[in-house]
């Protein structure tokens, strides 16, 4: 059966006890797919398209992905870090070029690439609205790349922003790494992190991606559990 390969950053990666309770979207995505579908999660904390490629993290994907598999490509958070030349990419030039490299890895092996826009940060202006568009240029660059290369795109950025607006500022703390004292390991207590996810947030946003796959239909919908969403 098919394998989903996942290239991305810390919002996707598989976490160990060292970063508990942080949970990546790719870590919980098996909840939504048929049991015979495998996931090979290559996402890594802090990586951009540039650093992922420069560190040869795309090589094992290329070596192992095969016909009928899927490559989920989910970046943006670290590509936008202008103060870090090892990771920064200009959205409408190098970032788009790099995305095409990921797409080509899948297509060279007759696998199916899917571009997924970055999850929104929890950044509320007031109790009902988020300070959206943190990733706006990179989201647009991903949309342009998907259109140019005729690659399916799931707009997780828009879906996650809508979910944040739906549940509000206070409830969304349960989705992100807001860790009050007395409830988590001592080295994590008091952390306020509006980017990385706890289990509930990872599951919620994995559900958004599953909804996106269902909307794509065909071979993408066939990855999902029956009668899901």
Any idea what the CATH number is for the domain that residue 78 is in? 3.40.50.1110
Percentage of residues of the chain with pLDDT beyond 90: 82
Out of 42, 77, 135, 196, the active site residue is 196
Q: Tokens at residue 55, please? A: 């560190």
Instruction: Read off the pLDDT of each residue in 127-132 and give the average, rounded to a whole number.
Output: 57
Give catalytic status of residue 42 as yes or no: no
Strands 70-74 and 112-116, sheet pairing: parallel
d(CA 221, CA 210): 8
d(CA 158, CA 161): 5
Residue 215 in any domain: the answer is: yes
Contact present, 71 and 60 (Cβ < 8 Å): no
Residue 228 in any domain: the answer is: no
Contact present, 38 and 78 (Cβ < 8 Å): no
Residue 19 in any domain: the answer is: yes
Residue 229 in any domain: the answer is: no
pLDDT at 187: 67
pTM score of the predicted model: 0.94
Whole-number average pLDDT of the chain: 93
Q: How many structural domains comprise the chain?
A: 1
> pLDDT confidence of 131, banded at 50, 70, 90?
low
d(CA 116, CA 73): 6
Residue 146 in any domain: the answer is: yes
pLDDT at 126: 64
Residue 109 in any domain: the answer is: yes
Q: In which domain, by residue range, is 200 found?
A: 3-221
Instruction: Read off the pLDDT of each residue in 158-165 and give the average, rounded to a whole number.
Output: 93
Residue 29 in any domain: the answer is: yes
d(CA 183, CA 16): 18
Out of 55, 128, 170, 189, the active site residue is 189
| Cis ω before 21 (30° cut-off from 0) | yes
Least confident stretch, 9-13, 121-125, 173-177: 121-125
The answer, yes or no, to whether residue 47 has pLDDT greater than 60, is yes
Give catalytic status of residue 10 as yes or no: yes
> pLDDT confidence of 28, banded at 50, 70, 90?
very high
How do residues 58-71 score in pLDDT, each as one tens digit?
999 999 999 999 99
pLDDT at 129: 59
Give catalytic status of residue 77 as yes or no: no
Out of 10, 48, 51, 172, the active site residue is 10
Task: Label residues 57-69 b or e (16+ Cβ within 10 Å = b).
Answer: ebeebbeebeeeb
Collect all residues with Cβ–Cβ distance below 8 Å to 57 and sequence separation of at least 6.
7, 42, 44, 47
Residue 61 in any domain: the answer is: yes
pLDDT at 1: 85
């Amino acid at each position: 059966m098919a394998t989903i390969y996942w290239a991305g950053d810390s919002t996707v990666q598989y976490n160990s006890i060292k970063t508990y309770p942080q949970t990546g979207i790719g870590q919980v995505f098996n909840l939504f797919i048929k049991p015979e579908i495998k996931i090979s999660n290559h996402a890594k904390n802090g990586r951009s398209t540039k650093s992922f490629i420069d560190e040869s993290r795309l090589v094992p994907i290329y070596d192992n992905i095969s016909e009928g598999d899927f490559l989920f490509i989910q970046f943006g958070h670290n590509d936008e870090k202008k103060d870090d030349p090892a990771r920064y990419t200009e959205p409408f030039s190098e970032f788009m070029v790099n995305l095409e490299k990921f797409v080509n890895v899948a297509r060279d092996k007759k696998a199916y690439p899917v571009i997924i826009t970055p999850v929104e940060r929890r950044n509320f202006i007031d109790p009902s609205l988020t300070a959206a568009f943190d990733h706006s240029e990179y989201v647009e660059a991903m949309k342009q790349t998907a259109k140019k290369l005729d690659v399916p795109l799931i707009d997780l950025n828009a879906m996650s922003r809508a979910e944040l607006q739906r549940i509000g500022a206070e409830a969304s703390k349960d989705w992100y790494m807001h860790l009050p004292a007395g409830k988590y390991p001592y080295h994590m207590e008091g952390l306020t992190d509006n980017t990385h996810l706890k289990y509930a947030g990872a599951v919620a946003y994995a559900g958004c991606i599953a909804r996106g796959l269902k909307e794509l239909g065909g071979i993408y919908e066939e990855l999902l559990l029956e009668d899901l969403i």
